Amino acid sequence: MSVDSKEYILQTAVTLFSKQGFAAVSMRGLANSVGMSVAAVYHHFPNKQALYLEAVHFAFAKQASAFDEVWQAQLTADEKLSRFVHCLAQVLTTDVDFRRLMQRELLDADDERMQLLAKEVFQEQFSHLMAVIEQMGESRQIHFSALSVIALVCDIIQMQPLSRHLPGWRAEHEEVDFIAGQVLNLLMNGIKSKGCQ
């Protein structure tokens, strides 16, 4: 099987997992979706768990280089946080399959898959974010502050379908630059004021 075929399987798997959830996707169903035999799929992925983890890696890897550029840049901690928030908002706004996949997994909250995602996919990025927050002067609640950064961006984008029907909504509220700017305003004031102990 060529690299292109494997990528096609992974991209199709990401879409299926994001729309149907882990439990509803079968190796046979995936094979039918990509027009291959079940044996051909199993040749590269020994089981559904391995396929799932590689599919999430694949979905995240498309965006990871942008995050890596943030961490490796010669910037202040404030600038790194700003770029990370913008990058995360961009990823979640443009990669709908990835966003849905993460939302679905958080709703399912399968502990084994959560551990795999944390360790194999998100731990490195989260550790970088914690280091930036620590450099900004937060030393007591680094984990919670890093989680709050991610949650703010994710939840604002997730709420967009409802937000459109609430008073005060404007089209600019769904633009990446606007989202990133508003989130950063909340974060910078919150992190630097240390109002929450």
Residues making up the chain, counted from first to last: 197
Q: Which two tokens stand for residue 105?
A: 């997994």
- Which CATH number do you get for residue 158? 1.10.357.10
Where do runs of H (alpha helix) occur along the chain?
A: 3-20, 27-34, 38-44, 48-72, 77-94, 96-108, 111-117, 123-135, 142-158, 160-163, 176-193
Which residues constitute the domain of residue 87? 3-193
Instruction: Give residues with Cβ within 8 angstroms of 159, minimum separation 6.
Output: none
Please tell me the total count of domains within the chain.
Answer: 1
Q: Which residues of the chain have pLDDT under 50?
A: 1, 3, 195-197
| pLDDT at residue 195, as a whole number | 44
Tell me the pLDDT tens digit for each residue of 179-192. 999 999 888 886 55
Q: What is the pTM of this model?
A: 0.80
